[in-house]
Amino acid sequence: MPNSIGTLYGRTTWKGKGIPVTHFIWFITYNKWPKNQINHKCHNPICVNPDHLYDGTQKENMQDKINADRQGYVGSKGEKNPRAKLTKCQVKQIRKLYSTGKYTLTALAKEYHVSITNIWYIVNHKTW
């Protein structure tokens, strides 16, 4: 048995070594340690139900997040990005205004309440 089962960040100790609780659950369920990392079928990182866990790779976990639409802003562009402060229409307007030569990056950043860097990325088609 482990020395203690801690709830802080889902870690416990086994023979004096700190390990993720999910690894310990895998071990006591299947009598072997996972070969890779433990991923969650249920998409709940604090879950320790062995039926919801699988021994998988980081790449599999990232693909699972994408398939389940859980990736947050990573890879999400434009209005699909939950951190987006602008709409597609605003981005088009920013590009149009900047192309006239009458507006600076700073002026557009102030007008649209975003950073100068964000405006630079927009007008140079690095984002959106």
Task: Supply the mean pLDDT for the chain.
Answer: 86
Asked whether the CA dihedral 117, 120, 126, 128 is positive or negative, the reply is positive
Is 42:52 a contact under the CB 8 Å cutoff?
yes
**Is residue 117 packed enough to be buried (19+ CB in 10 Å), middle (13-18) or exposed (0-12)?**
exposed
Domain extent listing, the chain:
4-67, 78-123
Mind listing the pLDDT tens digit for each residue in 25-54? 999 999 999 999 999 888 888 889 999 999
Q: Report which of residues 79 and 121 the model is more confident about.
A: 121
Is 60:39 a contact under the CB 8 Å cutoff?
yes
Report the b/e string of 9-22 with b at 16+ CB within 10 A.
Answer: ebbbebeeeebbbb
Using the predicted structure, report yes or no on whether residue 103 has a pLDDT greater than 90.
yes
Helix (H, G, I), strand (E, B) or coil at 20: strand
Using the predicted structure, report yes or no on whether residue 85 has a pLDDT greater than 50.
yes
